[in-house]
């Protein structure tokens, strides 16, 4: 089996990196600094979260004002489509959405022609 010299050099480099580990004094200092920063961050943040209003909590849960406005817009559009008949919406949009007629999308047949052949249902 042939080996690639670049792969061999990479394996040597990885072996050297595994052998070179930080000393225990450096690890102790890094972990002590991390514990100090973590202790400073958790105290005030918990108190601020407890004072939030229900609206701020709900907005934070869905992703902020941008996500909430998208949810509201989708809800309003759903109510509008549900309230008005699909024919009304088709009329507002120029009649190109439901008919697939000559004016808009002539790539599919009229759905009524699929089940009525020779004027029988």
Instruction: Between 94 and 33, name the one with better pLDDT.
Output: 33
pLDDT band of residue 34 (cuts 50, 70, 90) is very high
What gap in Å lies between CA 78 and CA 96, rounded to an integer? 20
pLDDT tens digits for range 71-111: 999 999 888 777 776 677 677 776 655 555 555 445 555 66
DSSP 27-54: HHHHHHHHHHHHHHHHHHHHHHHHT--H
DSSP 54-87: HHHHHHHHHTSHHHHHHHHHHHHHHHHHHHS-HH
Question: pTM for the full model?
Answer: 0.33
Instruction: Between 88 and 32, name the one with better pLDDT.
Output: 32
Model confidence at 44: pLDDT above 70: no
Contact 101, 109 (CB under 8 A): no
């Amino acid at each position: 089996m042939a080996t690639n010299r670049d792969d061999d050099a990479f394996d040597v480099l990885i072996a050297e990196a595994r052998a070179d580990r930080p000393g225990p004094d450096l690890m102790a200092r890094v972990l002590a600094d991390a514990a100090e920063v973590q202790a400073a961050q958790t105290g005030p943040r918990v108190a601020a979260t407890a004072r939030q209003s229900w609206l701020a909590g709900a907005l934070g849960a869905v992703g902020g004002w941008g996500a909430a406005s998208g949810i509201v817009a989708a809800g309003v559009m759903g109510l509008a489509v549900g309230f008005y008949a699909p024919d009304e919406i088709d009329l507002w949009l120029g009649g190109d959405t439901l008919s697939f007629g000559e004016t808009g999308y002539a790539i599919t047949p009229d759905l009524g022609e699929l089940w009525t052949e020779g004027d029988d249902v």
